[in-house]
A and B are shown apart, each in its own frame.
Chain A
Amino acid sequence: MNDAFDIRNMESHIEVHKFRGGAIVGATLLALMFQAFVPVYFAKAAMIDLPLLITIYFGLSRRNPSSGLLLGMVIGLLQDSLSGPTVPLGLYGIAKTVIGYLASSIGARLDTEHPAARFALTIIFFGLHQGIVLLTRRILLAQSSVWFTMHLAAAAVVNAIVAVFLFALLDHLRKS
Chain B
Amino acid sequence: MSMNKRSKRKLLVIIVVLGVALATVLGLTAFEENMMYFYSPTEVKNGTAPDNRTIRVGGLVVAGTVERASDSLLVKFDLTDNAEVVSLEYSGILPDLFREGQGIVATGNLNANGVFVADEVLAKHDENYMPPEVADALEAAEQKK
Partners in one complex: no
Using a CB–CB cutoff of 8 Å, the interface residues on chain A facing chain B are none
